[in-house]
Structure formats: C-alpha cells, structure tokens
Copies of this chain bind each other. A is one copy, B any other.
Amino acid sequence: MMDLHAVTGGNRLALSRLLTEVENETETGRASLDRLFVNSGRAHLVGITGSPGTGKSSLVSCLARQIRREYQKTVAIVAIDPSSPFTGGAILGDRVRMRDLAGDPGVFIRSMASRGALGGLARSTAGVVQVLDAAGFDLILIETVGAGQSEVDIARLAHTTIVIEAPGLGDDIQAIKAGILEIADILVINKADMPGVENTERALRANLDLGHSPRMNHNAAHMISAGEDDTAEQEGWMPPVLRTIATQASGIEEVVEVIFSHRAYLQQTGLWQHRDHERLRAEVGHLLQNALMQRWQKTVPAERYEAVMQQVFDRKISPGSAINNLVNGGNNL
C-alpha cells in the first residue's frame, strides 16, 4: 500500500511513484486512486491541444511560469504528445525552459509514456490527472497532440480547452475537419510573428462564426442515465482568438487572464459542476462496461465463445443469434 499522506503532503517522490502505479494500472494504483478520490475535484483542468509545429510545449512552459509568477498557484503539467520536449524530444532552448520550471517546487511535470492504444492512454491520463488533483495542484495543464477522437476524449477531461494553431500549417482546414474547434474554449495563434497570421486568424474566426456550438456531448454513460441537464451547456462563451509568440514570451499574460476568466464563467454558470459530473459519468460508464464484461467472461469459457464465433464465421448463425446464445442462455449449439 502506498503512503498516500506523503502524496497529499507534497512528497514529490511518493507522488511520482504513485503516478507510475496508476499509469501501469496496477492493483496498488487502482486502490490508491479509490482512496484519493475524496480529495479530488478542486483543480482547474486545462487541456492544451495543437499540432506538432505550433510551439505548444513552449507555450505551456510560458503559461506555467506566468501562473506561478503572477498568481502564486501551483501547477502540474501532464505531457501526452510523444514528440513533446517534456517527454524528451527537446531542442536546447526548450530544455532550458523546462529546467527552469523544474527547479520550482510549485511546479510538477509528468510526461506520459507512449502507449500503443490511445484509448488506454486516455484512461490512464484520467487517473494521473485525478491523482495530481488530489495531491493539491491548483491548475493541471494537460498537453495533447491534437488529432483525432482520442485527443478529443482527453480534452474532454478538461474544464478549459485551449486549441493552439500556427500560421502556415494548413491547420485552418485541418481544425475544421477534426472537429477540434468544437471543443475549443480558447484559441491561440502562436508564432504570431510568422507570415500568414492574418489568414490563419481570419479562417479561425470564420469557422467560429459558422460552426461554433457548445461542447458536444458524446458521453457514453448517457445511455444509462438522463439525470443530467444537457441544456446547461448553452451559448454564452464565445472562444476568444489570441496571438502569442511563446519564444519571446509575448501575449502570455492575456492567455492566462482568459484562462481565469473562463474559470469564473464556468463557476458562475454552473458549467464547472456540469463538466465535472459529465466527466464522472463517463468514467463510471466505462468502468461499468469493463466490470460487466469481466463478470460475464468468468461465466463463459473461452472455448464456448470461440465455438460460437466459429459458427458466425461459417455463416451458420448470425451475430444476433450468437449474443442470444451467449448472453441470454440460449442453448442451441
């Protein structure tokens, strides 16, 4: 059993060890998560997503430094992008910035090992974030690479989602396609000293005007409950478009101010709680599916399952009949 008092008391080594257990989904990790859960629910979770080449990691460093300096809040950074300098692939300038941050006891940096299945990554990221939350960090910055559904799932962990673009990456098109704009609470155009910044901003604003709708709700757990009021996610926050040059620490104050305004907006409107509940419903829904599958697997021998699948492969029985046979106790094998 882990020493959880050490974790909540600020012992960084104990925290790191626990995060490894949680990442590896060990029994100890799971039991510790369960016990720490009562301490969670206080941190402001900020998802930061953007394509490679947008300067995302530099921006995350700048944001962390600004939050420390001007607001004296503690910050944890969770880096999921495998190409992120936080996870090792740093150029020198980045490394200097990271080291600078790493010397601050109010900052904790965790890079997630790259796992095969992004679904699994999203799951263990949720656990890591929950531990950091329970450990008392005021803000948790979750850096993801920003492509596809799995990233959107990770972004859905957050109270506030920042989407980073940069001029000249063709990302105006890319963003629309991937549905990334739908999840953005704040849009940042980094590298704003590069040519094409006006075009990027124009494309982003046009897409915002056209397509912005409140966060979509693809919550899997919703199928088992209608207790939540989805209409709580109403218009009212129009994502601002901000320009930064992270390498010169330019425009950073405004981004941090908007992060805190968004927090105030969420709390005033009840959306803070709504997103928290939505997140927990999704988590319980996933755990429930897994638990039901595991319980069922114990009752049905693998050979029986394979025999039924073979009949499906041979087109002797349909998938629907297979389920009838396997779950509802049909015995027509």
Contact = CB atoms under 8 A, between A and B. Distances in A.
A224 B170 CA distance: 41
Contact of A309 (B281, B306, B315, B327): B281
Nearest to A172: B170
16 contacts: A30-B320, A37-B317, A147-B179, A169-B170, A173-B174, A224-B305, A225-B305, A225-B306, A227-B309, A276-B313, A280-B309, A280-B312, A284-B319, A289-B289, A292-B296, A295-B328
A202 interface: no
Contacts of A147: 177-179
Interface string A297-333: 1000010011001001101111111110011100000
Given A223-B293, A273-B313, A289-B289, 17 more contacts: A34-B320, A34-B321, A37-B317, A39-B315, A51-B177, A117-B218, A169-B173, A224-B293, A225-B302, A227-B302, A277-B309, A277-B313, A281-B309, A287-B322, A288-B327, A291-B323, A295-B327
A117 to B, nearest CB: 7
A21 to B, nearest CB: 14
A291 B38 contact: no
Interface SS of chain A: helix
Nearest to A149: B149
A49 to B, nearest CB: 12
Contacts of A38: 315-316, 318
Given A227-B309, A289-B293, A148 B178 contact: yes
A306 B33 CA distance: 22
Interface in A259-290: 273, 276-277, 280-281, 283-284, 287-289
Contact of A323 (B225, B287, B293): B287
A40 interface: yes
Interface of A: 30, 33-35, 37-41, 51, 117, 119, 147-150, 169-170, 173-174, 177-179, 218, 223-225, 227, 273, 276-277, 280-281, 283-284, 287-289, 291-293, 295-297, 302, 305-306, 309, 312-313, 315-323, 326-328
A155 to B, nearest CB: 13
Nearest to A303: B227
Nearest to A226: B302
A287 B170 contact: no
B148 A37 contact: no
Contacts of A295: 327-328
Contact of A224 (B35, B297, B322): B297
